[in-house]
Amino acid sequence: MDNLQIASPEIFLLTATCVVLVVGLFLKPEQRQLNYWMAQATLVITLIIASSQINSSPMTAFEGAYGIDTMSASLKCWILAIVFGGFLYSRDYLDERKIARSEYYVLGLFGTAGMMIMVSATNMLSIYLGLELLALSLYAMVALYRDNSPSAEAAMKYFVLGALASGMLLYGISMIYGATGSLNLAVINDVLSSGNERSVGARFGLVFVIVGLAFKLGAVPFHMWVPDVYDGAPTSVTLFISTAPKIAAFAMTVRLLVDALPVLHADWQQMLSILAALSVIVGNLVAIAQTNIKRMLAYSTISHVGFLLMGFVAASAEGYSSAMFYAIVYSFTTLAAFGVLLALSRDGYEAVNLSDLAGLGKRNALLGVVMMLAMISLAGVPPLIGFHAKLAVLKAVVDGGYMWLAIVGVFMSVIGAFYYLRVIKLMYFDEPIVQTEVEASSDVSAGLAVNGLALLVLGFMPGLIMGVCQLAFGIIQ
């Protein structure tokens, strides 16, 4: 019963997802909205169950393969809330394009279950199973728009490169298992801490694990899939890929490196510092040249992955908590940006070019303000919450002795601010190419208003999120 209680959010989510799947088979086309409401109700109930575990003491289940702690419970709540927002913003987009709507929600829910498993896994095999549940759902979601050849091409690229990354990760896990004789994260740590004779094989495995993680995160030089998938996938799917899975990827990195291989921190610090520097440099420089906003946000993601990795380079509780803070803030901010793009993409019209945002401040004041707040937050300009996220990571990096990496991060943030501010300039100083007003449905408008307001309010009260992140890594009790 303890096992079932610990995994109760995932058990309910998977059971309800199967119900949504079966019910969707019998619904008439005019009844398809029921799928949306069932999916949202599933997320809300799962969120309530997951939130009840936040104050629980750390526990493991299923012979040590699964567990809960402050980090896993709080990250699950954020994942569920962000997926709820993503479904809300995507509903009208999916309806107008007649993309397989029930399948989108079912695959999204299965992907969410995969993310929750990744967050709570305490065994390398359960981490991998959660990762594959998420990855297979994402491959299918990218290909959902069957009448669109770029979507099919993007899905194929994503599938092939994702399979390669999964193979690398699995090979690394097998080498670590060979060196330590266990897949349990705590046991691996204990074995490697007891002597150095086993660490040689574990170091070989670590290289492949880092490669697999870098592929999944989209870090340079393993980033080649990110711009093509972001651009080719339907915008609703791009929103899903670019938000909550980043939180799950952060959690997977914590489990594999911090929980299982802290003894090898000197080795993975060096590798991650190079990946972080390359990601920040390439992501920001290439984003400047983009005229397609989805590709611009893809390279922006790559640069933010660099900042996320900087928290791990610090190899301290402050660094890990700042990386967790960064992953949450980035996902929440990107949700607002893509929500605006989905609201603009109406009646078969896709808002994919920067020029499509021209005059948005005049056409719809709410969308213009929300997009402006999202861009300022992504650029790391105070008083938005994104500023505090970058500041926390840079402080941790400096305290960890990587001053050169912090200098690279600051310098590239200044350069990267150009392409974010360019979007604001287009929205408020350029004449709109399309003169028609943009109308978003009332619930989407309300969601975007809350999303944008939160970016501003949390900028004045960053401790609301940072406090939980510090609690997760024992900085505060």
Convert the pLDDT of each residue in 324-379 to its tens digit. Answer: 999 999 999 999 999 999 888 876 677 788 888 888 888 888 988 999 999 999 99
3-state secondary structure of 67: strand
Whether the predicted pLDDT of 267 surpasses 90: no
Minimum mean pLDDT range among 29-33, 378-382, 387-391: 29-33
pLDDT at residue 312, rounded to an integer: 92
Minimum mean pLDDT range among 212-221, 390-399, 438-447: 438-447
pLDDT band at 202 (very low <50, low <70, confident <90, very high): confident
pLDDT band at 196 (very low <50, low <70, confident <90, very high): low
pLDDT at residue 5, rounded to an integer: 83
Kindly list the distances between the CA atom of residue 467 and the CA atoms of 32, 217, 451, 473, in Å, as whole numbers in the listed order. Answer: 41, 25, 20, 10
Q: Where are the domains of the chain?
A: 2-472
φ/ψ (deg, to 5) at 138: -65, -40
pLDDT band at 6 (very low <50, low <70, confident <90, very high): confident
Return the higher-pLDDT residue of 143 and 432. Answer: 143
pLDDT at residue 357, rounded to an integer: 85
pLDDT at residue 144, rounded to an integer: 86
Task: Transcribe 459-476 into DSSP letters.
Answer: HH-THHHHHHHHHHTTS-
Percent of the chain with pLDDT over 90: 51
Do 357 and 427 contact (CB within 8 A), yes or no? yes
Q: Return the percent helix, strand and coil in the chain, to nearest 5.
A: 80, 0, 20
pLDDT band at 25 (very low <50, low <70, confident <90, very high): confident
pLDDT band at 56 (very low <50, low <70, confident <90, very high): confident
Mean pLDDT across the chain: 88
User: How many angstroms separate the CA atoms of 328 and 314, rounded?
Assistant: 19
pLDDT at residue 347, rounded to an integer: 63
Q: What is the mean pLDDT of residues 105-129?
A: 93
The residues facing 61 across adjacent strands are 66
Half-sphere exposure of 26 (CA within 13 A, CB side): 4
Half-sphere exposure of 219 (CA within 13 A, CB side): 26
pLDDT at residue 306, rounded to an integer: 93
pLDDT band at 7 (very low <50, low <70, confident <90, very high): confident
For CA atoms 184, 187, 192, 197, the dihedral sign is negative
Q: What is the mean pLDDT of residues 188-197?
A: 80
Record the pTM. 0.93
Q: What is the mean pLDDT of residues 182-210?
A: 84
Q: What is the largest CA-CA distance in the chain?
A: 70
pLDDT at residue 477, rounded to an integer: 61
Kindly list the distances between the CA atom of residue 172 and the CA atoms of 196, 206, 293, 300, 386, in Å, as whole numbers in the listed order. Answer: 18, 6, 36, 29, 34
Residue whose C-alpha is closest to residue 393's, from 380, 376, 377 = 380
pLDDT at residue 42, rounded to an integer: 94
pLDDT band at 87 (very low <50, low <70, confident <90, very high): very high
Do 91 and 97 contact (CB within 8 A), yes or no? no
Whether the predicted pLDDT of 384 surpasses 70: yes
